[in-house]
Amino acid sequence: MEFSVSTDAPDAVPCDAIAVGVFAGGALQGAAHRLDEALGGVLSASLAEEKFEAKPGSTAAVHTHGRIAAARVIVSGLGAQTEFTLDRLRQAAAAAVRRTGDLHAGRLALTALAIPPHSSAALTQARVEGTILGAYQFTRYRAPRTGQVEHVTLLADPPQRDEVERGLQRGRLFADAAVFARDLVNEPPNVVNPAYVAALVEDIGRSTGLRWTVFDDDALRAQQMDAILAVGQGSMQPPRLTVLEYIPPNPRRTIAIVGKGVTFDSGGLSLKTAEGMVTMKSDMAGGAAVLATMRALPALAPPVRVLGIVPAVENLPSGNATKPGDIIRALNGKTIEINNTDAEGRVILADALAYAAQQAPDEIIDLATLTGSAVIALGYLAAAVLGNDQALIHRLLDAAARAGERMWQLPLYDEYLEEMRSDVADLKNSGGRWGGAEKGAAFLREFVDGRPWAHIDIAPVAFLDTKEGTGPYLQKGATGYGVRTLLTYLGSEGG
């Protein structure tokens, strides 16, 4: 998809469709009002006839019959003006591009909005993110299901052109990174395995100038990362621990981001059901988010050093597989009784977090499709966040809100850790069904060496197994959740 910026009047832009945002209740405003005047009132009359309520994500299409340069007007609902958010604008742009694709129209124009206190750059970034994410289709192994928009023109008031250009660049960076993560998770598990992740890390390092390190199984053994090895030993694909490092001039501090990278999870000997296994290529969505974020950092250029750490394994049953009852020792010396081989994500993260802590970062953030309990608690509408540092959690919640990625804090009481104590080892890897998201986080906390840490359980939102997803820019399949939150956090907060 190509983008350009134009300062032409809305009725003078030649395209297959021009999209305008409309608020619920009241008269048409701004570009919508100007287009309605140019069309002799046809736009407002059509919306009235259709009883268009301008609900968020809703659209209406009106043919112009040559009265303006655009062949159609796509009206996208923004909801009530008093409830406007940047995510409403993302949804409106996504809905517009999807409607345009359904009409097999290739050229779309998006009109400008002026909504204080949001800057033109922020409004443009939201438009671009919504457009790219709304148009997304994973078509590597099939033909596109709808038409594809090839060119998008962003309209701008002449004094705001530079801000719009800045918003375009930032929106493309954020959305392209999320698309990279979506593609990686949507790839089949016979393509994406630990070796594939390792090769991808090397490619990212070479193409971006990031430092990279890959620990193969021999290096993992030498480093005494027995937890990662234990989970991966049932597969013919040896595990890997991959590290990417971004170092700006004079970094203010160091942040480690860690992503769970189980490229396929059968449950191991604690085998999942066939139904529960079918989407388990998505169990590396946290790792994909970390890799996508690291890949975008040189262009974003935040003032902090960032370590991106992804342990990559396949969790399969075999004669070599880890058994319930086995005891393993993690990198920091803590012993773990394996009482459920399907609680493997926290086991590989034990080594990855301990490795991150050894690098002496100022804070650690991990993303993982860790528990079904988070899905039970939050449905498919928000990720869970837990941690040992409330200030860090507040900053992440703020970044997630600005990115339009819902996140909700769950408690991390000390009693949850007591449920993870083993009779024969320091810890066990499963503490039972109830409070599973909190117990999993309590387990992970034991491997961060007391450093400020936040755990984001993305199991509810990483992969949508529904036909329509949960919004105009969240289609069935991988969502790329967490990428835009991390980029927002690292780029604007700087930690």
User: DSSP letters along 430-484, please?
Assistant: ---STTHHHHHHHHHHTTSTT--EEEEE-TTTSEE-SSSTTBTTB-SEE--TTHH
Residue from 107, 170, 172, 346 carrying the catalytic annotation: 346
Contact 52, 77 (CB under 8 A): yes
β partners of residue 366:
258, 455
For residue 361, how far is the Cα from the chain centroid? 23
Contact 384, 408 (CB under 8 A): yes
Report how far apart the first and last C-alpha atoms of the chain are (Å, whole number).
32
DSSP state of 230: H
Contact 70, 42 (CB under 8 A): no
Any catalytic annotation for residue 281?
no
Strand order through the sheet with 151-155: 2-6, 151-155, 107-110, 17-22, 72-77, 59-63
Tokens at residue 480, please?
Answer: 């790329």
Side chain identity at residue 438, one-letter code: E
CB-based contacts of 267, cutoff 8 Å, min separation 6: 276, 277, 315, 317, 341, 342
Any catalytic annotation for residue 467?
no
Q: How far apart are CA 161 and CA 130, in angstroms?
A: 20
Tokens at residue 475, please?
Answer: 């289609």
Give backbone dihedrals phi and psi of 220, rounded to 5 degrees, phi first: -60, -40
Residue from 161, 272, 334, 476 carrying the catalytic annotation: 272
Look up tokens 């701008």; give the residue: 156
Instruction: Determine the 3-state secondary structure of 100 from DSSP.
Output: helix
Q: Which residues are catalytic?
A: 272, 346
